[in-house]
Chain A
Amino acid sequence: MNIPQDLKYTKEHEWIRVEGNRVTVGITDYAQDQLGDIVFVELPAVGDEVESGDGFAVLESVKAAADVYAPVSGTVVEVNEDLEDDPALVNTDPYGQGWLAVFELAEGEDLSELMTAEEYQQFLAEQE
Chain B
Amino acid sequence: MGHPIPLIFERSVPGRTGYSLPECDVPEVPVQQLLPAGQIRQEAPRLPQVSEGDVIRHYVNLSSLNHSVDTGFYPLGSCTMKYNPKVNETATRLPGFARLHPLVPERCAQGALELMYNLEQYLAEITGMDAVSLQPVAGAHGEYTGLKIIAAYHKARGDHKRTTVLVPDSAHGTNPASAAMVGMKIVEVKSDCHGCVCLEDLKAKVDDTVAALMLTNPNTLGLFDINIAEIAEIVHNAGGLLYYDGANANAILGKVRPGDTGFDVVHLNLHKTFSTPHGGGGPGSGPVGVKAQLIPYLPAPRVVKEGDQYRLDYNLPDSIGKVHSFYGNFGVNVRAYTYIRMMGGEGLERVSEDAVLNANYLQARLKGHYHLEYDRLCMHEFVLSGKLQKAHGVRTLDIAKRLLDFGVHPPTIYFPLIIDEAIMIEPTETEGKETLDYFIDVMLQIAREAKEDPENVTQAPHTTPVSRLDEVGAARNPVLRWQP
Contact = CB atoms under 8 A, between A and B. Distances in A.
A87 B414 contact: no
A37 interface: yes
Interface string A25-69: 000000000000101100000000000000000000011110000
Nearest to B185: A54
B417 A62 contact: no
A88 interface: yes
Nearest to A127: B420
B308 interface: no
B414 A63 contact: yes
Nearest to A86: B476
B414 A39 contact: no
A63 B415 CA distance: 9
A39 B417 contact: no
Contacts of A37: 472, 475
A88 B414 contact: no
Q: Name the residue in A40, A62, A87, A88 with the highest tally of chain B Cβ atoms < 10 Å from its Cβ.
A: A62
Contacts of A65: 173
A104 B414 CA distance: 36
B43 interface: no
Contacts of B476: 39, 87-88
Q: Name the residue in A37, A40, A63, A87 with the highest tally of chain B Cβ atoms < 10 Å from its Cβ.
A: A63
B471 interface: yes
Chain B residues touching A, range = under 10
A87 B173 CA distance: 22
B414 A64 contact: yes
Interface in B398-436: 414-415, 417
A64 B415 CA distance: 8
A40 B475 contact: yes
A52 B173 CA distance: 23
Interface string B460-484: 0000000000011001100000000
Nearest to B188: A67
A61 B280 CA distance: 23
A37 B474 CA distance: 12
Contacts of B472: 37, 39, 62
Nearest to B477: A39
A87 B475 CA distance: 11
Contacts of A63: 414
Contact of A64 (B417, B471, B475): B417
Contact of B471 (A62, A87, A88): A62
Contacts of B414: 63-64
Nearest to B478: A39
Contacts of B415: 64
Contacts of A87: 476
A118 to B, nearest CB: 24
Contacts of A39: 472, 475-476
A88 B475 CA distance: 11
A34 B34 CA distance: 61
A64 B414 CA distance: 8
B106 to A, nearest CB: 45
A21 B414 CA distance: 39
A100 B472 CA distance: 20
A115 to B, nearest CB: 19
B41 to A, nearest CB: 34
A63 B395 CA distance: 12
Contacts of B471: 62
B19 to A, nearest CB: 42
Interface in A90-112: none
Contacts of A88: 476
Contacts of A40: 475
B183 to A, nearest CB: 15
B345 to A, nearest CB: 39
16 contacts: A37-B472, A37-B475, A39-B472, A39-B475, A39-B476, A40-B475, A62-B471, A62-B472, A62-B475, A63-B414, A64-B414, A64-B415, A64-B417, A65-B173, A87-B476, A88-B476
The 9 closest A-B pairs by CB, nearest first: A39-B475, A37-B472, A63-B414, A62-B471, A39-B476, A62-B472, A62-B475, A64-B417, A64-B414
Given A63-B414, A64-B415, A65-B173, 13 more contacts: A37-B472, A37-B475, A39-B472, A39-B475, A39-B476, A40-B475, A62-B471, A62-B472, A62-B475, A64-B414, A64-B417, A87-B476, A88-B476
